[in-house]
Homo-oligomer: A and B are copies of this chain.
Amino acid sequence: MPQDQIIKDPSKLLEELENLHPSDIANSLKKIEKHSEDDFFFVLKKLPDDILGEVLLELPENLRENAYSELTIEQLTEAVDELESDDQTDIIQELEEFDEEKAKEIYDGLEAEDQKEIDWLKTYEEDQAGSYMQTELFSANLNETIKASLDRLTEGKARDELENIHQVFIVNDDKKLIASILLEDLIIIDFKKTYAEVLSEYDENRFSPFVVQDKDDIDDVAKKFEKYDLNVVAVVGYQDMLMGRITSDDILDVIEENATEQMYQLAGVDDDFEHEDNLFATAKKRAMWLCLNLGTAILASLVIGIFDETIQAYVALAILMPIVASMGGNAGTQTLAVMVRQLALGNIELEHARDAVKKEVIIALFNGLLFAIIMGVIAWVWFDEKLLGLVIGLSMILNLFSAGFFGASIPLILKKFDIDPAIGSTVLLTTVTDIVGFFSFLMLAKVILL
């Protein structure tokens, strides 16, 4: 049983290869590379073909690209040849962006059948189900006997072409997907029967397969997995022909990546630029977001600038004003995080938008009142001025209300226009809470205090 094992010694790693999962080999290589790049390449080149590919896939992108440079075309071709079709396609595509020449030579070195599959899989967009599927699966013709299909399964497994099999997909002569029988059901049926015979003995819905279209969005596929507790879905394409399958381990990765993306978007970070060895590229991408925020901040400062005489007259205002803006920003962020996440999980629908906004506004008024009182008293005591307490109290209610209202509305409006709510919500909201915060506070101060 694979343990969580990381081996930092190159020679020891090579000895233990047989007992380690590719994931652990990759993690060990990561550690080795930090100490010595030479050792890293040394071990890499000695990896047997049948695991080299899998290990490459588990390495972080920067190390994988180093490996592309160091390994020979022969070695890479052998390694890619051993992989399943979806992984082959991923590596070839990545290689093409990195070193087009090398990618072509490796592609040319593969079997014609593999080449055809890669060509096909490459036609899919990054977010389509087709780009996540593998073409390797256990299928059988309606008129085949179970025994005959199991013989093919035995062969396929012996050739390491089939693994992770949980069901047989039954197709007709046009390769159209008819049914799917789980192995747990198949194993207790008489093997001498043909699949057509088996299907005729049961209700037509008994072996209905879970199916997605090859052009479906992978996020919708992931939602189906979660909703129906699936392990595998069949992927069909043109005229419902069986193209491939997607397994739950791929979906696990999709879900993690989506979660990371959402979290990053709320903070103004782009996951695609965060793994660069090139820190300049990362800094540049973050700078774009910071630039937007700078614009927001300057807008807010322009608003403060309108009240320069007010502040001059009463400097306590300059001391207290960041508090109101800050509280608005924090409350707004709470609302935003909840709205964006619940929208993404499909727990809020646009038709119930009004309920969602209403809920956030009520919470906002609760807390607005609470902190209006708290801060009102603090300001009153701090500066010995009752009206200042009133000003900051009123301003707090106004700002927290608008934080709740816009924090809920902005994501819903963006979603309505089919824009990803996570992107841009934060900037728009901060603009609102800062401007409302400073304006309400200083205007109320001008009117009430002066």
Taking a contact as CB atoms closer than 8 A, the residue among B166, B183, B323, B370 that contacts A298 in the complex is B323
CB of A316, distance to nearest CB on chain B (Å): 8
Instruction: List B contacts of A1 (CB < 8 A).
Output: 208-211
- 27 residue pairs from A and B, CB less than 8 Å apart: A4-B224, A21-B228, A34-B352, A150-B188, A157-B184, A166-B231, A186-B187, A225-B249, A226-B256, A231-B249, A248-B248, A252-B255, A255-B255, A259-B259, A259-B260, A264-B337, A267-B333, A268-B330, A268-B333, A268-B334, A289-B334, A290-B331, A294-B375, A297-B323, A305-B319, A311-B318, A322-B438
CB of A387, distance to nearest CB on chain B (Å): 18
Q: Among A97-105, A358-366, A412-420, which stretch is in contact with chain B? A: A358-366
Instruction: List B contacts of A308 (CB < 8 A).
Output: 315-316, 318-319
Instruction: List B contacts of A438 (CB < 8 A).
Output: 322
Instruction: List B contacts of A150 (CB < 8 A).
Output: 187-188
* Contact of A312 with B by CB under 8 A: yes
Within 8 A of B (CB), among A362-416: 362-363, 366-367, 370-371, 374-375, 378
Taking a contact as CB atoms closer than 8 A, the residue among B182, B264, B280, B315 that contacts A366 in the complex is B280
What copy number does this chain have within its complex? Answer: 2
Instruction: List B contacts of A296 (CB < 8 A).
Output: 326
Contact between B336 and A366, CB atoms less than 8 A apart = no
Main secondary structure of the interface of A (DSSP, over half): helix
CB of A199, distance to nearest CB on chain B (Å): 15
Instruction: List B contacts of A333 (CB < 8 A).
Output: 267-268
Contact between A225 and B211, CB atoms less than 8 A apart = no
Q: A226-B253, A267-B333 are in contact. List 17 more A-B contacts (CB 8 A).
A: A60-B347, A138-B184, A164-B231, A183-B187, A229-B247, A231-B248, A264-B338, A266-B267, A282-B363, A283-B366, A286-B363, A289-B330, A301-B319, A304-B319, A304-B322, A308-B315, A308-B319
* Contact of A443 with B by CB under 8 A: no
* Contact of A448 with B by CB under 8 A: no
Q: Which residue of B lies closest to A374 (CB)?
A: B294
CB of A170, distance to nearest CB on chain B (Å): 14
User: What total of chain A residues lie within 8 Å of the partner, measured CB to CB?
Assistant: 112
Q: Which residue of B lies closest to A358 (CB)?
A: B279
CB of A181, distance to nearest CB on chain B (Å): 11
Instruction: List B contacts of A241 (CB < 8 A).
Output: none
A298–B321 Cα distance when bound, in Å, is: 10
Instruction: List B contacts of A338 (CB < 8 A).
Output: 264, 267, 269, 274
Taking a contact as CB atoms closer than 8 A, the residue among B249, B267, B371 that contacts A290 in the complex is B371
* Contact of A153 with B by CB under 8 A: yes
Contact between B320 and A322, CB atoms less than 8 A apart = no
* Contact of A139 with B by CB under 8 A: no
Taking a contact as CB atoms closer than 8 A, the residue among B208, B260, B298, B323 that contacts A345 in the complex is B260
Instruction: List B contacts of A267 (CB < 8 A).
Output: 266, 333-334, 336-338
CB of A180, distance to nearest CB on chain B (Å): 10
A297–B371 Cα distance when bound, in Å, is: 13
A229–B247 Cα distance when bound, in Å, is: 9
* Contact of A262 with B by CB under 8 A: yes
Q: Mark A293-311, 1 if CB is under 8 A from B, else 0.
A: 1101110110011001001
Contact between B279 and A367, CB atoms less than 8 A apart = no
* Contact of A75 with B by CB under 8 A: no
Q: Mark A423-439, 1 if CB is under 8 A from B, else 0.
A: 00000001000100010
Contact between B367 and A287, CB atoms less than 8 A apart = yes
Taking a contact as CB atoms closer than 8 A, the residue among B290, B294, B371, B434 that contacts A294 in the complex is B371
Interface centre among A185, A280, A305, A318, by most chain B C-beta atoms within 10 angstroms, is: A318
A259–B186 Cα distance when bound, in Å, is: 37
CB of A100, distance to nearest CB on chain B (Å): 29
Instruction: List B contacts of A266 (CB < 8 A).
Output: 263, 266-267, 337
Q: Which residue of B lies closest to A378 (CB)?
A: B298
* Contact of A72 with B by CB under 8 A: no
Taking a contact as CB atoms closer than 8 A, the residue among B185, B312, B322 that contacts A315 in the complex is B312
Instruction: List B contacts of A305 (CB < 8 A).
Output: 319
A290–B337 Cα distance when bound, in Å, is: 15
Within 8 A of B (CB), among A140-180: 150, 153-154, 157, 162-166
Contact between A225 and B210, CB atoms less than 8 A apart = no
